[in-house]
Amino acid sequence: MPLLRSDHNCKHEIDTRNGHMKTASCQETHIFRPFSNSDSGVVTITTQTLSYVGRTTGTKSPCKRRI
């Protein structure tokens, strides 16, 4: 029996008019089986979200360089 049971679910929203992804959201669930019963017990749930903000021509960086 594996020690972990994991699952993930992702949703993507595509802007078909401009040809790029607008948002992506993923949720991961990990259950440590030795200390769990069904869906309860030792569980971690992680959610990651990515959102399109805009595009640049590549001539200027929106980030300030740190030294």
Q: pTM for the complete prediction?
A: 0.64
Give the model confidence (pLDDT) of 53-63 as tens digits: 887 776 666 66
Give domain status of residue 67, yes or no. Answer: no
Q: What pLDDT is recorded for position 58?
A: 67
Give domain status of residue 19, yes or no. Answer: yes
Give the span between the Cα atoms of 53 and 67, in whole angstroms: 26
Give domain status of residue 58, yes or no. Answer: no
Give domain status of residue 56, yes or no. Answer: no
Give the span between the Cα atoms of 43 and 24, in whole angstroms: 23
| Burial 46-63, CB ≥16 within 10 A → b, else e | eeeeeeeeeeeeeeeeee
Domain span at 42: 4-51
Percent of the chain clearing pLDDT 70 (strictly above): 81
Q: How far is CA 42 from the centre of its chain?
A: 21
Q: What pLDDT is recorded for position 64?
A: 67
Q: Could you give the number of structural domains in the chain?
A: 1
Give domain status of residue 59, yes or no. Answer: no
